[in-house]
A and B are shown apart, each in its own frame.
Chain A
Amino acid sequence: DAGITQSPRHKVTETGTPVTLRCHQTENHRYMYWYRQDPGHGLRLIHYSYGVKDTDKGEVSDGYSVSRSKTEDFLLTLESATSSQTSVYFCATQLSGTGTYEQYFGPGTRLTVT
């Protein structure tokens, strides 16, 4: 497996509280992604990063923000969690944006918002 870890692996939080999920990689990959996985929707891109401090929105970015201050870490923040954000969150990395598009996924974080 690619060296991708996610923390926490499970979290239960209350509506309205802020939540930060962390993705850490040891592969020195330039690109990093946050997806959410929901039944009937597959994987949907929330945000991605193409370098330190360089981020962009995906198709379901509302209610989420990200930060990348180091190559190895990509943080996903839910500013004020809602029940609709209950999901499994996956981080992925990709070596570069050209030539090879193989993505490596982390083990996921199961988030429940009550």
Chain B
Amino acid sequence: QQQVKQSPQSLIVQKGGISIINCAYENTAFDYFPWYQQFPGKGPALLIAIRPDVSEKKEGRFTISFNKSAKQFSLHIMDSQPGDSATYFCAARRDQFYFGTGTSLTVIP
């Protein structure tokens, strides 16, 4: 079964808006939660990551919000730009990585 559930499958946002992608998990043994960005024809690249002892991590326009009790974490992209148009994957790690199914983000100029 899917260890990490990601939503939405696709997302369209206006330039300057906020993009929000959500992930949920069940295994409380997961100890590392990264987000990856993937452009067409390329391999995924690490965007930002968080550990479960922290509720929020911000790097530039990208923020992870982590809710341990709800077993959910989300990626917020502030001031979304057309260059952010890509597929985003969440993941969770315990011995090995389990990935969400991906969100295709389109930022409209």
Contacts and interface: CB of A to CB of B under 8 A. Distances in A.
Overall SS of chain B's interface: strand
Interface residues of A, number: 22
Interface residues of B, number: 21
B97 A103 contact: yes
Overall SS of chain A's interface: strand
B42 A42 contact: no
Nearest to A45: B96
B46 to A, nearest CB: 6
Contacts of A108: 41-43
Contact of B43 (A45, A101, A106): A106
Interface string B93-108: 1001111111000000
A40 B46 contact: no
Contacts of A90: 43-44
A-B pairs, top 10 by smallest CB distance, nearest first, are A105-B43, A42-B99, A43-B99, A42-B101, A101-B32, A105-B44, A42-B102, A107-B43, A45-B96, A90-B43
